[in-house]
Amino acid sequence: MNLSAFEIAGSAMRAQTTRLNTIASNLANADVVASSPDEAYRAKKPVFEALLQEGLGGVTTRGLVESPRDPVARHAPEHPLADENGYVHGSNVDAIEEMTDMMSASQSYRSNVELLGTLRDLAMRTLQLGE
């Protein structure tokens, strides 16, 4: 049994955890408003990189990037954060996109958990062959 298979699955689970945490942050800030587009919350996405070095594999997180979509301007002159024209600027988080991404990340995480279980079972059976 190759230990790197466990490491690859573990790195994939860490990547999906990062993805899920980023989604949670985006959803938590979906309704936040600001007084200018520059101050508005922008959705973030993790950037991953494959690790392919001398028989080792896996994935690592390179960082986060902000969505290039513009924040949403909403006319709300009564809001305390309204600008001089009566607009507040909301985040550019697309809740449907985030929920879809969350389902995908959850399924990927679950698949790696199942893979680790299978690898563990195979390792145990291999050890029992020597008995």
CA dist 45 and 102 (Å) reads 12
In one letter, which amino acid is 1? Answer: M
CA dist 119 and 111 (Å) reads 12
Under DSSP, is residue 3 helix (H, G, I), strand (E, B) or coil? helix
32-37: average pLDDT: 95
User: Computed over its alpha carbons, how large is the radius of gyration of the chain?
Assistant: 21
CA dist 19 and 103 (Å) reads 11
The tally of domains found in the chain comes to 1
pLDDT digits (tens, 9 = 90+) for 67-115: 999 999 999 999 999 999 999 999 999 999 999 999 999 999 999 999 9
Say whether pLDDT at 28 is over 60: yes
Global pTM reads 0.85
Beta strands in 12-105 (DSSP E): 33-34, 44-53, 56-66, 72-75, 87-90
Under DSSP, is residue 43 helix (H, G, I), strand (E, B) or coil? coil
CA dist 97 and 100 (Å) reads 5
Range of the domain at 122: 3-129
Q: Is 100 left (phi over 0), alpha (psi -120 to 50) or beta?
A: alpha
